[in-house]
Amino acid sequence: MYFDTHAHYDDGAFDADREELLKSLGENGVELIIDPGCDVDSSRKALELAEKFPFLYAAVGLHPEELEKHGGDALDKVRELAGHPKCVAIGEIGLDYYWDASRREEQKALFRRQIELAMELDKPVIVHDREAHGDCLEIVRDYPGLRGVFHCYSGSAEMAKELLKLGWYLGFDGPITYKNARKALEALELCPLERILIETDSPYLSPVPMRGKRNDSSNLRYVADKIAQIKGLSPEEAAALALANGCRLFGIERA
């Protein structure tokens, strides 16, 4: 019943036990997964996993943190990979001023080109926004009709209202279970039920009580439970809602 709309199973952190782990997730209630690529290689790996596991879908894209990897014909390759039948989105793409504040213009240009690709292919986008809220909002506003999710939402309540008005979904991850969570919880409080997605960002951002360990989709329930608590739902209702939302945004039909 869980849909983890953001988990990097192509990551090296899963090299030792990737197949066994993915096979075991169904027993833990995980029904669907999206693995977003971060560069050409990882996008390709995500698609390979999608070919192997019917419940796993891929997104392809160039992450702003890996700017130096995206030269040459990287964008053409992303376009080519996006044609795969199990590619459901362009991502993860966006702006990251935490890791690299020095190449903002390059990041913005790459973000825009990938948004334009998504619109051309009529696919949603998965947006990474780290300490770049103003610029991310300014850019996505330039593309009416663009659909997608702000992954691991970390902006203000005001920005959330703006995004929701524009039709965006907000993704919530392990950090909402942390003691110092405040901004993301404010956004969650005002987010309508039909715009909530639940993500793990595995192998990163493990929720309490798994914090500090490698994350995987079986921990999605801790995030779902927190969402249920904030929104006054049962954990099952929260999970079912997010699953339906993910299927709607990414155009996935349940088996």
Task: Return residues touching Ni ion (CB under 5 A).
Answer: 201
Q: Residue 40 is encoded by which pair of tokens?
A: 């050409």
Nearer to Ni ion, 31 or 201 (CB): 201
153, 182 contact by CB (below 8 A): no
Residues 18 and 241: their CA atoms lie apart, in Å, by 28
Closest approach of Cβ 41 to Ni ion, in Å? 15
Nearer to Ni ion, 10 or 201 (CB): 201
Closest approach of Cβ 236 to Ni ion, in Å? 26
Nearer to Ni ion, 39 or 201 (CB): 201
Q: Residue 88: which H helix or E strand, with range? A: strand 87-96
Nearer to Ni ion, 151 or 221 (CB): 151
Nearer to Ni ion, 5 or 228 (CB): 5
Closest approach of Cβ 64 to Ni ion, in Å? 11
Query: Would you tell me how many other CB atoms lie within 10 Å of the CB of residue 49?
Result: 20
Left (φ > 0), alpha (ψ -120 to 50) or beta: where does 29 sit? left
Q: What order do you get walking across the sheet with 87-96 strand by strand?
A: 2-4, 30-36, 56-60, 87-96, 125-130, 148-150, 169-172, 196-198
Closest approach of Cβ 36 to Ni ion, in Å? 6
Closest approach of Cβ 102 to Ni ion, in Å? 22
Rg (CA), the chain: 17
